[in-house]
Amino acid sequence: MSAPDANGWRYDFENAPRGELVTSTVRSKDGERKVTHFEPAPIILASRCGKVIKSRWMPDPGRWEFFNKGEPVIAWQPWPTHPNPPVSEPSL
């Protein structure tokens, strides 16, 4: 992965996080079954028209959300995580 520029932008889209396949167990009246779905990773994209957009990869049709297929995306940044540790839920 290439290092980000001074503003945190990256240009190596082959390393941009797209998401992952997640398998979970679903219960129904017919019993349990395993289901696999794509869980997209949020990302920040810079468009050629000067906008900065929160987006995600859509495997079908194979493009970034809010962009047409083949439309150039200028740069990307990972979506930030919250800086504080999670607060534990109070006991009841």
Q: Total structural domains in the chain?
A: 1
Q: What pLDDT sits at residue 1?
A: 63
Tell which residue, 59, 52, 56, 58, has the closest CA to residue 75.
52
Helices (H), ranges, 1-92: none
What does the alpha-carbon distance between residue 86 and residue 80 come to, in Å, rounded to a whole number?
15
> Is residue 7 a part of any domain in this protein?
no
- Domain assignment present for residue 4? The answer is no
Nearest to residue 9, comparing CAs of 64, 63, 52?
Answer: 52
Taking only the tens place, the pLDDT of each residue in 32-83 is 999 999 999 999 999 999 999 999 999 999 999 999 988 889 999 999 988 8
Q: Is 15 helix (H, G, I), strand (E, B) or coil?
A: helix
Secondary structure E strands in 1-92:
19-28, 31-40, 43-47, 52-55, 57-58, 63-64, 73-78
Residue at 37 is within a domain? yes
Question: Is 60 inside a domain boundary?
Answer: yes
pLDDT in tens, 1-29: 678 887 889 999 999 999 999 999 999 88
Asked whether residue 38 is domain-assigned, the answer is: yes
Q: Which domain holds residue 37?
A: 13-78
Structural domain includes residue 2: no
